[in-house]
Amino acid sequence: MLRSQALLCLLLFGLCSSAVGQGLRVSTVVYDAGRLNSSGQEPVLASSFSLFHNGRIYDYVEAAGEVVVYDSTGKKFTVINSQRGVSTTILFQELQNMLRERGPKTKEYIRELTAKHSPEAERAARMLEFQLNPEFKSHFAPETGLLSLQASSWKYSVSTREWKDAEQLKRYLTYTDWTARLNYLLHPSSMFPEPRLALNARLRELENRIPVLVQLDLRPDERLVLRAEHQFVRNLTDRDRSLINSWDAMLNNGTLKSIPFRSYQEEMLLSLRR
């Protein structure tokens, strides 16, 4: 599995680092649900874990070699890359501004693809256009907790369970909204945030239900079926707290070189080409 593919699998859902509150650990495993390996099992494509402590969320994605720190009070993300010895910070407002810049360029690219009149180009244009303006038919089955969002080549199947703390759930969905936006800008292989935002909007309508399993089926336009499974564990271990302390120390002791967000984007793009 190429590094860029692993990033896509981890970042596709915007769920791999999702939860809210104090002293909570969320582990996620992403599977290639569209095929079986030689052992007759679905291959594991990526894994991550997130730690929630003192109002911050520390999201560690091993495939990316990054720690992303979500700070709702400061309205910003800070990205730590210890392998490169750098960090970068982006404000939520900057994220919004960069996403607005994307629209006209994407629409022009869609027009260029459509003008080629080839099946492959038309498929790519169709996928991009849907991601910009996703429209789903949704259905929720209360007896099973299964939520489905259906479009021609973009299908979510989401297993949910009750989450009694409404304020936590509200914050959780806000966090995954912002994570979906960041992932699109941070990693060239990730998808547009709008489908994930549409899923979040539907989850808000359900009230008091949190997603624990998400399957995304992009057939027939893409031969890709992914499944992300999330395990929520209350309270952090000593090792978890040690990791948080080490990440905070990196940010505070001057060992990391702070670089602009756009420079970090460029570094990530170059690393995928190597």
pLDDT at 3 over 60: no
- Confidence at residue 188, expressed as pLDDT on a 0 to 100 scale: 67
Report for 1-15, 106-120, 257-271: range of highest mean pLDDT: 106-120
Q: Which residue has the higher pLDDT, 39 or 160?
A: 160
pLDDT at 153 over 80: yes
Sheet strands (E) in the chain: 24-32, 44-53, 56-61, 66-71, 76-81, 86-91, 137-141, 146-151, 154-162, 209-217, 225-234, 257-258
User: Which tens digit of pLDDT belongs to each residue from 9-26?
Assistant: 544 555 444 444 457 788
First to last CA, the chain: 14
Polymer length of the chain: 274
> Considering the entire predicted model, what is its pTM?
0.85
pLDDT range class, residue 273, cuts 50, 70, 90: low
Mean of all residue pLDDT scores within the chain: 87
Distances (CA, A) of 180 to 92, 194, 274: 12, 8, 25
pLDDT range class, residue 40, cuts 50, 70, 90: confident
Mean pLDDT of 200-206: 95
